Chains A and B, each alone.
Chain A
Amino acid sequence: MRSVAIKMLVGDRAKYLGIIMGLTFASFLITEQLAIFTGLMTRTFGFITDTSIADIWVMDPKVQFVDDIKPMQDMQLYRTRGVEGVEWAVPLYKGLLKAKLENGNYQTVILIGLDDATLVGAPPVMLGGQSADLRRSEAVIVDTVGAAGKLSKPSPLPGAKRIPLAIGDNIEINDNRATVVGICRVSRTFQSQPVVYTTYSRATTFAPKERKLLSFILVKAKPGEDINALAARIRKVTGLAAHTRDGFKELTVRYYMKYTGIPINFGMAVLLGFIVGTAIAGQTFYNFTLENLKHFGTLKAMGASNKTLLGMIVLQALMVGGIGYGLGVGAATIFGKLVKGTELAFRLPWQLLVITAVAITLICIFAALLSIRKVIKLEPAIVFKT
């Protein structure tokens, strides 16, 4: 009876396409919204991702997420280095500073100061120059998006494209001269300002004079050391907060989840996809069953058991569900490919496909249940009613 079930379904082209379209739409919307959400959440900790060499991030206990800077005293670095199991610990400066461009305009930049000796935390991808060039005097490395965007110079020709900041150009950071020695690519984050890398000591001279300037301490564990245990030990010895890389990402994501409207907005969109999918697909599938009720009755009269009919409906639901899921997820993947490299955040790890699969399955179960109920309750005697 499987072939009969499939032909009943496919034979009614318009209905069949309607159901498939509903499910495709639902699965596309759910996947796409989840992927954008995941992409955005990944951006929140882009800086942590870029600094993947550090096992543990040590910071002021009040820090809530990666862009929340609460400076510590320099002596904390030495205390951290003294904790057993620490292979090395280096300082990291992160702060917002004003940069003055050649044309006299001001632009806020994110200044990152790397340990002078090791340059731990250097940009992940260099597009021009080398991170070692930071050791030259007044040297800074600028991220390519910032260089081409907010730090670019107006063209001397009116109406022409702006000229990106390039190696050899000078800017002023907080009244200190800085020379661009490299262009890098960084992971996109929630902060839209240009990212400028320099050494820790130079960063502290650029920064306004304050008692405390140390933003983070990056720690590498000794080989074989349990990172979670080490983080706990650092917390105990220093009284600071110490998060593993993943722990710090989680902390950051959780902050955004809790204090921004992002999860609500995306949750609503996902829910909407689910509801629309259920409404369209569930409705059309149910309608399809209703329209075929007479035929189900005929089959029942001719000796098809409830079990057989149930199997037929489940098969029909699985079929439209499978096709709709495939098309929707496929469309979402293509969408992801199309928006790659644009401002739009899009990340589609396999877990999202599972979530969508579960959602579509739920929609199909819902639709099938309605139909099954109707068919099970059907009196075969209706066949003689015209």
Chain B
Amino acid sequence: MRDKNKNPFPCDEETITQTLAVHCKGITKSYGNGNEVVNALNGINLDVFTGQLTMLVGPSGCGKTTLISIMAGILDQDDGDCVVFGKSFKDMNEFEKTLYRGNQVGFVFQSFNLIPTLTAVENVAIPLLIRRTDRKLALEKAAETLKNVALSERINALPSQLSGGQQQRVAIARSLVHEPRLIVCDEPTSSLDHETGFRIMELLQYAALCADRALVIVTHDPRIFDFADRIAKMDDGRIVEVFDSPEDMKKS
């Protein structure tokens, strides 16, 4: 699936190291209270490595979004713990978790979540602005990142003036601009047509590869399974199987 020559983030694939990025153990999470409790996660054990694209797949409602929300630090687990880049969630207070999100995590959403009144480059600069980077520097860095996703022509366009695929590329640039070590994507291609989704996946894959960075992608879409380095199959709040390649999954 990988074509080295197309990679906008050129690097030597030999140097890619696969170290443990996220280590989750015994994660449980339930929503609601009283009679209406939904057990979304029932003891999840999962390791995510840098230099790899890990996919979370499984039927609707099995807890994929809940799991990446916890890994990204935007949702607290009920029980169990995740160690992210050597640091345990249990040892982080609210402030440290906010810092973790701001410094280590990049987000890509199904519906892009761009701020409609900001231009592409301004949207991309947000993670840097949150980290109090000087505005001018932030915009320069954002423009540079947009170049890597092949949008250098449209940096001053508003989201409404961009196609869905272009908007998702802006969102990817935004998830990369502050060089986070974990990128979480929830259904990044399901608002896009097949061809565009394919391009987006290529981009995400390259982005993950050449840095000390892990990528976790939630998807329903079997057509993009081939991009995965590892696939974790979920059902009913559990990881039922982990495959080390798309081929393994197809065999099973």
Q: Which residues of B contact A158 (CB under 8 A)?
A: none
Q: Given A308-B130, A381-B75, answer yes or no on A7-B117 (Cβ-Cβ < 8 Å).
A: yes
Q: In the bound complex, what is the Cα–Cα distance between A43 and B127 (angstroms)?
A: 61
B188 to chain A, nearest CB (A): 12
Q: Quick check: which of A8-16, A17-25, A138-146, A357-365 contacts chain B, the rest being far away?
A: A8-16
Is B74 interfacial (CB 8 A cutoff)? yes
Pair count A-B, CB < 8 A: 82
A303 close to B99 (CB less than 8 A):
yes
Contact between chains at B113 and A295 (CB < 8 Å): yes
B52 at the interface (CB under 8 A from A): no
Tell me the minimal C-beta distance from A386 to chain B in angstroms: 5
Residues of A within 8 A of B65 (CB): 384-385
Tell me whether A1 and B129 are in contact (CB under 8 A): yes
Report the separation of the CA atoms of residues A302 and B115 in the bound assembly, to the nearest whole angstrom: 13
Q: Which residues of B contact A10 (CB under 8 A)?
A: 117
A1 to B122, CA, bound (A): 11
Cβ-defined contact, B117 with A294, below 8 A: no
Collect the chain A residues with CB atoms within 8 Å of residue B102's CB: 302-304
Q: Is B245 in contact with chain A by the CB < 8 A criterion?
A: no
Chain A nearest CB from B14 CB (Å) reads 33
A302/B130 in contact, CB under 8 A = yes
- Nearest A residue to B111 by beta-carbon distance? A386
Q: Is the CB of B69 within 8 A of A384?
A: yes
Considering the complex, give the chain A residue whose CB is closest to the CB of B115.
A295
The answer on a CB contact under 8 Å between B127 and A302 is yes
Chain A, interface residues (CB within 8 Å), range: 20 to 34
B115:A8 contact, CB within 8 angstroms:
yes
Q: Mark A298-313, 1 if CB is under 8 A from B, else 0.
A: 1111111100100000
Q: In the complex, which residue of chain A has the Cβ closest to the Cβ of B218?
A: A384
Min Cβ gap A157→B in Å is: 68
Whether B109 and A8, one on each chain, are in contact in the complex, defined by CB atoms closer than 8 angstroms, is no
State in angstroms the CA–CA spacing of A12 and B160 once bound together. 13
Chain B residues closer than 8 Å to A303, beta-carbon distance? 98-103, 105, 127, 130-131
Could you say which of A1, A7, A294 contacts B113, with CB atoms under 8 Å apart?
A294
Residue A105 at the chain B interface, CB threshold 8 Å: no
Q: How many B residues, CB 8 Å from partner?
A: 31
- B181 vs chain A, min Cβ distance (A): 13
CB of A11 within 8 A of CB of B118, answer yes
Give chain B interface residues in 63-109, CB to chain A under 8 Å.
Answer: 65, 68-69, 72, 74-75, 95, 98-103, 105, 107, 109
Which residues in B have their C-beta under 8 angstroms from that of A7? 115, 117-118, 122
- Which of B111, B116, B126 counts the most A-chain CB atoms under 10 A from its CB? B126
A351 at the interface (CB under 8 A from B): no
Does chain B have a CB within 8 A of A342?
A: no
Report yes or no: B75 in contact with A11, Cβ–Cβ below 8 A. Answer: no
Are B117 and A12 in contact (CB-based, < 8 A)? yes
Q: A221 at the A/B interface (Cβ < 8 Å)?
A: no
Out of A11, A299, A305, A384, which one reaches B126, CB within 8 Å? A299
Hey, which chain A residues are within 8 Å of B130, CB to CB?
1, 299, 302-304, 308
Q: Are A4 and B118 in contact (CB under 8 A)?
A: yes
Taken together as a complex, chains A and B put the C-alpha atoms of A211 and B161 apart, in Å, by: 91
A contact residues around B72 at 8 Å (CB): 301
A-side contacts of B113, CB under 8 Å? 294-295, 298, 383
A87 within 8 A of B: no
A164 at the interface (CB under 8 A from B): no
Contact of A381 among B74, B126, B127 (CB under 8 A): B74
Cα distance, A256 to B111, chains bound together (Å)? 64
Provide the B17-36 mask, 1 if CB < 8 A to any CB of A, else 0: 00000000000000000000
Contacts of B115 in A (CB 8 A): 4, 7-8, 295, 298
User: Of A301, A308, A380, A386, which is within 8 A of B110 by CB?
Assistant: A386
The A301-348 residues at the B interface (CB cut-off 8 A) are: 301-305, 308
Kindly list chain B residues whose C-beta atoms are within 8 Å of the C-beta of A8. Answer: 115, 117-118
Q: Write the residues of chain B forming the contact surface with A, with a CB cutoff of 8 angstroms.
A: 65, 68-69, 72, 74-75, 95, 98-103, 105, 107, 109-111, 113, 115-118, 122, 126-127, 129-131, 135, 186
Complex A-B: 15 CB contacts under 8 Å: A4-B118, A4-B129, A8-B118, A10-B117, A295-B115, A298-B113, A302-B102, A302-B105, A304-B98, A304-B130, A380-B74, A381-B69, A383-B113, A384-B65, A386-B110
Top 8 closest pairs, chain A to chain B, by CB: A303-B102, A11-B117, A380-B74, A303-B101, A381-B75, A298-B113, A381-B69, A384-B65
